[in-house]
Amino acid sequence: MRDARHDILFEPLQIGPVTTKNRFYQVPHCTGMGWQSPKKLAAMRGLKAEGGWGVVCTEYCSVHPTSDDSAYPLATLWDTQDIKAQALMTERVHEHGALAGVELWLGGGFVANFGTRIPPLGLQDRPLTNPSVLHPVQCRRIDKDDIRDLRRWHAEAAKRAVTAGFDIVYVYANHGYLLSQFLSAETNERTDEYGGSQENRTRIVRELIEETREAVGGEIAVATRFSIDPSDSETYDALGLLAEYPDLWDLTVSDYDIEMGVSRFVKEGAMVDAVAQAKSLTGKPVVAVGRFTSADTMAATIRSGAQDLIGAARPSIADPFLPNKIDEGRSDEIRECIGCNICYAHNSIGVPIRCTQNPTMGEEWRLGWHPERVASAETKERILVIGAGPAGLEAARVLGERGHDVMLAEGERVPGGRVTRESKLPGLSEWARVRDWRMGQIEKLPNVALYPESRLNAEETLGLEADHILVATGARWATDGIGRHRNSALECSEPTAVISADTVIDKLPLPDGRVMIFDDDHYYMGPVLALALRKRGHDVILVTPAGRAGAWGSYTEEIFASNAALIEAGVEIQTNQVLEFFGKGRAICSCLFSGKVRESSADLMIPLTRRIPDDKLFMSLSSDAGRLSESGVGSVRRIGDCEAPGTIAAAVHAGYRAAMELGSSATLTETFGRREHPVL
């Protein structure tokens, strides 16, 4: 039964000519699917509507081939084929009583048009304005004819949106794309009616809102996505000039590191105050994100008048059924986003998004997975899962829900494996949600039993008379230095001074001295360990073969905040360096490009290069097929980091997949799922 405090979240709200059934609004967010995978995309968006989201929007949707962000799989509304593809989504969304929104998009000088090979259209003759890419592409300064074309293309795409069945159509005026370039005095150097004064700089946005409304004939709502900057009153003045034109404001802040910040640096509801100030300028409904996961926080935000709708991208990925769970009084079952941005990272790479908390994300159509339902096993069996880390916990949970009797053996007193250990590091506390949600679900399953402090050997394992065994014993950081940039072990004259990263993760004491981290991992661990060691009083130097510390953080949108934190903490950073020798208080590195040698002082060395699977038990079990058969074991399978160390998201996915495939004779290559092919 729904908590009365949350009733406000389920009040309908009129948005121009349409009405949303509740206050849950999945704002436009990228998927890595776009025009290339319309069936996969429709299934994912439709499932969110099934989960109770009142509005479900597309990702950025190009109105014309002059806005082409290839190789990212953007959405498109260029022609009748696109109408058919987008209709797949709107039909799925409408099946569950939700509204479908489309974010029409003009890329401008932010994108390279690599697919269409048309010169980008920007406000200045200059290289691309996207600071994240350094493509050798320069855009062409637009003229009056171009502006007329842009307005016409936008209106034509809006008409196609109506045909495709959308209920809300966007004018997209932020995130560095063309319309936000018009709004900025820094990038808008025009001296005609589209430049100079703020009223002139907002002109094209106003015209597009009016012309879009005319194009859709008043049948659907017109929303505007817009950024405000709490430190720049002009952004609020600009919103004030446009305040009553759209039917809905989708507001963000201009600092993307806050809007899309990882939980290491940005917490729930970080934009509420800035959005509330902007909302006071308009009488139209306002939606805004804030990585909201708490029903209490959502309801309080609406009651405060700060915004009218709870916008979500990442929380809707982590739990597509978040609204239904609140409606049914099951807030404790919400699969809360951990703010790791693994979803965003994979879209940034150009592949379908995935989620650490929700392993079914992106697999709804390809593999037929559902985040809330699993098929019951045809034959109920006795399953032993060894290791209660992210892979083991997920496997045990899903196996239990399928009806199997599950024994979950964990060597430590507290389950969670690497999640429990890493969540104690600076900024990673929310990552414990991966463990806590799964433990909460497992506790509700009478057919799943957890046995902590149960470190098994092969003989003990076989004595438990399991029908199947899943080994999820994880992995540990190596100290030999072999990794991406080293094929052989590190030359070292003082091996006792080479420390495993696990020593720091487990908060074990270290000798005094200056610590060098050789980070050939390039994700979060190097920067996080450096900050942890600084908190413990160590002088720290971080050496990396990459051009920036934690370079993979460019995909998760944490690289700038992460490097700023390292600099602020006093961590010395050396880039483009490969470790060659360590010993006697010194480390020798060579330049990745020139080979020039560089010597630094260091008393301790932590190589972050590779992790070694803890697979001794698996190898012992799998090497004796005869003994397995005699013990009645039908199969032994290693999963997660025990098979191939990777992200926590990969481990959770591996656990889910193993649980779904258990009992099937199909091999992994035979179960890769459905594929979408071009029309031949």
**Enzyme catalytic residues:** 177
Sequence-distant (6+) residues with CB within 8 A of 169 are 101, 102, 104, 158, 161, 162, 212, 216, 220, 221, 222, 223
**Between the CA atoms of 395, 396, 399 and 400, what dihedral angle is there, to the nearest 10 degrees?**
-150
| Side-chain-facing half-sphere of 595: CA atoms under 13 Å | 0
Q: Do 549 and 536 contact (CB within 8 A), yes or no?
A: no
Query: Which residues, in sequence order, are CB contacts of 586 under 8 Å at separation 6+?
Result: 599, 600, 601, 602
Q: How many other C-beta atoms lie within 10 A of the C-beta of residue 373?
A: 9
Task: Report the relative pairing of strands 597-601 and 13-15 from DSSP bridges.
Answer: unpaired
Q: Are 550 and 519 contacting, i.e. CB atoms less than 8 angstroms apart?
A: yes
Alpha-carbon torsion, ordered 338, 344, 346, 347, to 10 deg:
150
Contacts for 548-554 with beta carbons within 8 Å, 24 or more apart?
A: 548/575, 549/519, 549/573, 549/575, 550/519, 550/522, 550/523, 550/524, 550/526, 551/522, 552/345, 552/522, 552/523, 553/523, 553/524, 553/527, 554/132, 554/348
Element (H, E) at 40: helix 38-50
Instruction: Tell which residue, 15, 60, 9, has the closest CA to residue 35.
Output: 60
What's the CA gap between 71 and 547, in Å, rounded?
23
Please state whether beta strands 126-127 and 138-141 pair in parallel, antiparallel, or not at all (unpaired).
Answer: antiparallel
Task: Please list, in sequence order, all residues whose beta carbon lies within 8 angstroms of the beta carbon of residue 625, skipping any fewer than 6 positions away.
Answer: none
User: Of 578, 674, 655, nearest to 419 (Cα)?
Assistant: 655
